[in-house]
Structure 1
C-alpha cells in the first residue's frame, strides 16, 4: 500500500539540517544590475561592472541587514544567464577579473562568503546552467566541462555551503542553442565537494514550490512522487522569456502533490522532497530604481513568512543590491520590520535538537497528553524554552490523539506554532484547535498538514487552555515543538 510506504519516507541528514533554517536570503547582483535588465544576453562589456560602493564593509552591512530580518543564510547569484562570473574564474574572460572594479582583483563571491562566516550565516551559491556568453554552450560535453569547472571552483574555494541553487530557466527557444545538461555529472561533483549542501530546484533535495509569487498550497507534503524530481530538469517547463511579471504569476502546477487521494493511483517510488518558496522583495529579481516604490512592506513579508515557513516550506527571499552594491532604503526598512515580527515567534538561537519546546510569549503553561507524556511542567519566565522529552508521540492505538496546553490564569493568544518531529516522517493529515472559555470548549481553528512548521493565526481569544486534536494521520502523530503567542496587529489567517 502506497500510504504504508509514505509513512517510512524521512529526510536525509542534509535535508533535515536545511529545514531547520526556514528563512534565508537571495542576493541577485551582477551585470544585469549595471544594465538595468533582468536577463542579459552575454554580450555586455565587463567594463560596465563597476559597483563603486562594494567592499568588505558593504558586504558586512548587507549580511547584517539580512540577519535583522531573522534570515539564517544567504545565496548569491555567482553567475546569471548572461554568463558574467562574480569571481575571477579561470574558465572565461567574462568575469570580474576583466572589470575596473577593484582594478580587476575583486571577488564578489569571496566578499559575501567571508561576510557570512563573520556573521555566522550559512552561505550558498547560484550558478545558472544556461549561459548566453559561453561559445561552447549548445555543444554538449564541451559546455558540460566548462560548467563543471565553474562548479569545482565555487565548491572548492569558498568554504562550506548549505545550498546549491540550480535555475531551470532556459529561454533559447526552438531556434536557439540546444544544450542537454548532464545533471547526473553535476550532482556527482556537488556531492563530492559539498556533501552537506542541498541541491535545490533543478536538483534532488529541495523542490520548487511551483511559482515565484509566494503562493503556497494549503496542504504541503514533503513526501511526494519521485517523478517530481525531474520536473525542473526539463527545459520546456522553465522560464522562457525575460519577463519580470513571471515573478508574480501563479503556475498551473497541481495543488495536491502528496495526499491520500493524490497517491491513490500512483505506483512509483516516493521521496522526501520538501518545498522552497522563492520570491523577490521587488517585482523583479535584479535592482531597478523604477521599482523603489514597489518594495514589499514588512507586514507583507511577515504574512508571506507565516504562509511559507508556517506552511511546511522554506522561504528564500530575494533582496537585490543596487549599482553601488547596497540595499535600497525601502528594502532595508522592510527587512528590519519583518525581523521584529518574526522574533516574537521564535528564538534567535534555535537548536536542531528534536525536543518538545513549549514556549509562551504570554504566560507560563503546562502541557499534557500523549503516550510519551512527561510529567506536567510549568514554564518559567516568558520566552523560556522547556525541553519535556525528545519528542511527543501519541499512543499507537489512540484513535483521537490530543495535546492540551493549560494556564493557571486566563491569557490572551492569537498565534499557534507547531512542528512535527520530521526525522520520523510527516504523519499529520488534519487537526483542530479548541479554546476553553467560561461556558466550555469552543472551536478556534483547524488545518491539514504540519510537517516542519505550521503557523496558525486566529482571532484573539482569552483562555485557560488550548486543545489540539489530531483528526487525520498516517501513523501516531508527533510534535517536536509547540509555541503560542499574542502578536500585536495579527489578523486571523485560517
Structure 2
C-alpha cells in the first residue's frame, strides 16, 4: 500500500532494513543470519516495484549465542545491484554516506570528494562495530566505512594523511538524516513537539543547501497515517519553499565568466584547461536587465566535472553607472552580501533583502579550475516572508 501510494503521489519509494534484528534467533550465527537477511532483502527488492534507495544503519550487537554478528556487506550490496541496480545504497553503503550527526546540519565545508583507506586497513578499526569483510575497490559498491564524523572530512590535511596510508579519493556525497519530531518513532506525547517551520527551513537550507541530501523522518502514528500536526507543518514548509523558489530572478539573465589564469597547454573538448598557471580570482557575473529585489541565492557547480570551489563571495553592484569590462574585476562599487567555502551540487545562501541589477560571484579559492560557467551556476530568489 505504501509503495502504491508513493507512486500515485509521484514519490520515489525506498526501504530501510536494519541489519540488527533483535528478534531473529539466528542473529549472531553469522552465516545463517546473513542468509536470512539476504532473503529479507530479496523479498523487499522484488515485490514492490522500483526501489530508489536501500538504507542501512550500522547497529550491531551479540546474538542469543553470545557472539557478535558479522555482517556480509559485500553480499548485501551484490544482491541489491543484481535486483535493483538503480537503487542508491545509503549510509552504511557505497553510494551515500552519513553526514555524521542527526541534528540536520552539514559541515561548514562539505565535500563530496573524500579520502578513504582501503577496506583491509579499515577492518581493525571497525570490528568493534560489527563491520568485517568490507568490499575492496574491486567488489560491488566500493568501500563501506570511514570516519563519517570527522569535522575536516575532505580537507587537504585529511587527504594527505590518508594518502600516507595508501588511500584514494572517492565520490561519496553526504546524506543528512533528522526527524520532524524529537524521536524516530511515533509517540503521542510528542504531538506538540513537531519541529517549527523556522527549524525545518534552517534544516533545509543547511542540508539541501549545504551540498547534501535530506532524509526527513516522518513517523506514521498508530492509525498508520501521518499525524495532522506533522502534515500541517509539512504543508507550511512546502508552501514556503514554493513561494521562494518558483521564480528565479536570474533566469534568462546575461551572464559572463572570467577565468583569471594563463593557459600553459590547451583546453580539452569541454573547454577545460589541460594546464594553466593560476593568478587570481575567477568571476561569474550576472546582469538582470533591471534592478530586482532578492534575499536568497542558489549556487551550483557542474559536478559532472567534480567539486572544486574552496571559498567564494557574492557581491552586488552599488556603483555609479553600469558594470563594464573595466570594473567587473575591480573592488570599487561592489558590495559583498554573502560568502562561504564549498559549493558542490548546491549551496543556498540567505541574507537581508537587496535591490540590484548586477551580481557577481567571486571564486576566491579552488582546487584546480572552477566549474561555474553555466547559466544555472547562479539563481536569485525572493523569500517574501523574510
1:465 aligns with 2:358: yes
CA contact (8 A) 2:95 2:172 kept: yes
Q: Which residue of the partner structure matches residue 145 of structure 1?
A: 35
1:288 shift after superposition: 0.2
1:360 shift after superposition: 2.6
1:167 aligns with 2:57: yes
Q: Which residue of the partner structure matches residue 215 of structure 2?
A: 316
1:279 shift after superposition: 0.5
Higher relative contact order (CA 8 A, sep 6+): 1
Change (3 A) 1:272 1:136: same
1:199 shift after superposition: 0.8
Q: Which residue of the partner structure matches residue 474 of structure 1?
A: 367
Q: Which residue of the partner structure matches residue 193 of structure 1?
A: 83
How far apart, CA to CA, are the structure 1 residues paired with 2:128 and 2:63?
9
How far apart, CA to CA, are the structure 1 residues paired with 2:271 and 2:235?
35
Equivalent residue in structure 2 for 1:367, among 222, 239, 255: 255
- 1:346-369: CA deviations, max 9, x gaps? 45xxxxxxxxxxx73488632222
Q: Note the residue ranges of structure 1 that are not aligned, 5 or more in a row.
A: 1-110, 239-250, 348-358, 372-390
Q: Which residue of the partner structure matches residue 150 of structure 2?
A: 254
Q: Which residue of the partner structure matches residue 161 of structure 2?
A: 265
Q: Which residue of the partner structure matches residue 59 of structure 1?
A: none
Change (3 A) 1:415 1:452: same
Equivalent residue in structure 2 for 1:219, among 104, 109, 120: 109
Aligned residues: 338
Equivalent residue in structure 2 for 1:203, among 78, 93, 110: 93
**Tell me, what secondary structure is at the counterpart of 1:136?**
coil
Q: Which residue of the partner structure matches residue 142 of structure 2?
A: none
- 1:307-332: CA deviations, max 9, x gaps? 00110010000001100011112111
How far apart, CA to CA, are the structure 2 residues paired with 1:369 and 1:225?
31
CA contact (8 A) 1:169 1:235 kept: no
**When the two structures are superposed, what TM-score results if normalisation uses the length of structure 2?**
0.80
How far apart, CA to CA, are the structure 2 residues paired with 1:173 and 1:282?
31
How far apart, CA to CA, are the structure 1 residues paired with 2:239 and 2:28?
48
**When the two structures are superposed, what TM-score results if normalisation uses the length of structure 1?**
0.64
Equivalent residue in structure 2 for 1:418, among 284, 295, 299: 299
How far apart, CA to CA, are the structure 1 residues paired with 2:33 and 2:63?
18
1:450 aligns with 2:325: no
CA contact (8 A) 1:394 1:477 kept: no
1:433 shift after superposition: 0.9
1:121 aligns with 2:8: no
**Tell me, what secondary structure is at the counterpart of 2:45?**
helix
How far apart, CA to CA, are the structure 1 residues paired with 2:354 and 2:298?
16
1:157 shift after superposition: 1.7
1:116 shift after superposition: 1.6
How far apart, CA to CA, are the structure 1 residues paired with 2:200 and 2:118?
28
CA contact (8 A) 2:249 2:292 kept: no
1:180 aligns with 2:70: yes
**Tell me, what secondary structure is at the counterpart of 1:152?**
helix
**Tell me, what secondary structure is at the counterpart of 1:299?**
helix
**Tell me, what secondary structure is at the counterpart of 1:404?**
strand
Change (3 A) 1:154 1:368: same
How far apart, CA to CA, are the structure 2 residues paired with 1:288 and 1:465?
51
CA contact (8 A) 1:370 1:393 kept: no
CA contact (8 A) 1:411 1:462 kept: yes
**Tell me, what secondary structure is at the counterpart of 1:188?**
helix
Q: Which residue of the partner structure matches residue 379 of structure 2?
A: 483
